[in-house]
């Protein structure tokens, strides 16, 4: 077996290592060279927290005590909630294990002073708020706004249909000269 361009059983080649490596073996078939990197750290691995991430370093950077870097995301720093005229968000906590982020949505359009019953649905009132109201039509029934382009209530007797124009207007639009 040729080693280091040598054809004899022994070789005059010399291998040396730089810092942080060890070399063992003579380079023979029964005692091959083994180059080993020695993990080294001076303990100077530093971590820097950001507004949205808390980092923690543990360990000394050696084989028996490796350096481990872990992090916790701060959700409140990266989560933005948009308040609208009908919904106002409130947050509590920082989004960490010790202080979980909790979000509360207050609906100003929901009138909670009116008690509801099982089966009630939220119904828009004339003042723009929603209140619980007993269901007045069977499930699946649609009541269109007058003049809204939809006709019918979805029942078998009065199926739902688009009401774009009258039949006469449709016939006139489709007539060929």
Rounded Cα distance, 28 and 10, in Å? 7
129 and 91: one domain? Answer: yes
Looking at residue 50, what is its pLDDT?
87
pLDDT in tens, 79-123: 888 888 778 888 888 777 788 888 888 877 677 777 888 878 888
User: Whole-number mean pLDDT of the chain?
Assistant: 77
CB 122 within 8 A of CB 110: yes
pTM: 0.34
Using DSSP's 3-state secondary structure scheme, residue 39 falls into coil
81 and 127: one domain? Answer: yes
CB 71 within 8 A of CB 56: yes
126 and 85: one domain? Answer: yes
Rounded Cα distance, 34 and 27, in Å? 9
Listed in sequence order, the residues at least 6 apart from 8 whose beta carbon sits closer than 8 Å to its beta carbon are none
123 and 156: one domain? Answer: no
- The tokens describing 133, both together, are 């109201």
pLDDT above 60: residue 29 = yes
Rounded Cα distance, 122 and 107, in Å? 13
More confident residue, 44 or 25: 25
157 and 110: one domain? Answer: no
pLDDT in tens, 46-72: 888 888 888 988 888 777 888 888 988
Looking at residue 39, what is its pLDDT?
65
87 and 126: one domain? Answer: yes
pLDDT band at 133 (very low <50, low <70, confident <90, very high): confident
Average pLDDT over residues 19-28: 80
More confident residue, 17 or 43: 17
Rounded Cα distance, 88 and 103, in Å? 10
CB 82 within 8 A of CB 100: no
7 and 47: one domain? Answer: no
pLDDT band at 176 (very low <50, low <70, confident <90, very high): low
Looking at residue 140, what is its pLDDT?
66
Work out how many domains the chain is built from and give that number.
Answer: 4
What is each CA distance from 108 to 83, 121, 123, 167, in whole angstroms? 11, 17, 14, 44
Domain of residue 102 covers 77-133
69 and 81: one domain? Answer: no
pLDDT above 60: residue 23 = yes
């Amino acid at each position: 077996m040729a080693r280091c361009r040598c054809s004899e059983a022994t070789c005059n080649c010399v291998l040396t290592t730089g810092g942080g490596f060890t070399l063992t073996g003579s380079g023979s078939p029964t005692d091959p060279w083994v180059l080993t990197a020695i993990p080294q750290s001076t303990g100077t691995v530093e971590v820097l927290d950001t507004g949205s991430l808390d980092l923690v370093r543990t360990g000394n950077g050696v084989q028996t005590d490796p350096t481990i870097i872990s992090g916790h995301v701060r959700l409140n720093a990266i989560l933005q909630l948009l308040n609208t005229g009908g919904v106002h968000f409130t947050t509590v906590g920082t989004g960490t294990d010790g202080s979980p982020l909790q979000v509360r949505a207050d609906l100003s359009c929901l009138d909670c002073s009116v008690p509801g019953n099982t089966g009630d649905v939220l119904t828009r009132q004339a003042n723009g708020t929603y209140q619980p109201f007993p269901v007045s039509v069977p499930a699946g029934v649609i009541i269109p706004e007058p003049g809204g382009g939809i006709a019918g209530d979805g029942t078998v007797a009065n199926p739902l249909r688009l009401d774009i124009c009258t039949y006469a207007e449709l016939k006139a639009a489709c007539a060929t000269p």
